[in-house]
Amino acid sequence: MGNYSVVVLDFETTGLSPNYGDRVIEIGAVLVENNVIVDRFQSLMNPGMKISRFIEEYTGITNKMLSGAPSVSEVMHKFTSFMAQHHLVAHNASFDSRFLDAELQRLNLLRCQEFVCSLLLSRRIYPEFHSHSLESLVRCKNLKTDGVHHRALADAEMTGHLWISMVNDIKADYNLKNVPFDLMQQLSKVSKSAAPSFLKRAAEKQEQTSRL
């Protein structure tokens, strides 16, 4: 089953960790179906606290912009509908998944969708690149971008294009007919040196199955 859907998401936040009381201030997400971006979700949200000058300068999001934004809970309720049962992808997923889970917990909700990290995947698929930051990958792969970094929808959109590119590159390089989500999940966990043989085996397995 190669034609699954994923929601690629990105948060801007008041700081680095929900464990220290940090909150989300913007969410951006794209829905990828059959390896094409088909829908988008974006909203600023008022975290109920002032954000620091550093975060204002880093993201371009100001306290003034947030004061008129809907509450975090209002936006997160809407986002749960957009997210539905889709698999989830983020660049540095441990960061975004922590914030997603913390905000869902405030609403007494629990995430059941699986996450995969495009940062870990890119290290295995493009080991020759010196940097695997989103900006760097967008440049090296010549991906579509509007040039705005550290705004949630722009980053989610770029990560969406990166995901599509990784799926297409794996198909082309290893002659895979489809690249299921669980294959991407497993790939993100194998060592970098084992990645090529892992993908070769996956291609052989697909070939055998298609003959049956």
Question: CA 154: distance to chain centroid?
Answer: 12
pTM for the model stands at 0.95
In the chain, where the domains are located: 5-211
Q: What pLDDT was estimated at residue 147?
A: 66
Task: Provide the 10 A C-beta neighbour count for residue 98.
Answer: 17
Per-residue confidence of the chain (212 residues) as pLDDT tens digits?
A: 445 799 999 999 999 999 999 999 999 999 999 999 999 999 999 999 999 999 999 999 999 999 999 999 999 999 999 999 999 999 999 999 999 999 999 999 999 999 999 999 999 999 999 999 999 999 999 998 876 777 999 999 999 999 999 999 999 999 999 999 999 999 999 999 999 999 999 999 999 998 87
Backbone angles phi, psi at 46, to 5 degrees: -85, 115
Q: Where are the beta strands (DSSP E) in 45-93?
A: 87-90
Evaluate whether 1 touches 180 at the Cβ level (below 8 Å).
yes
Among the four given CATH numbers 3.30.465.10, 3.40.50.300, 3.30.420.10, 3.30.300.30, the one describing domain 5-211: 3.30.420.10
Number of H helices, E strands in the chain: 9, 5
Of residues 182, 13, 16, the one with CA closest to residue 190: 182
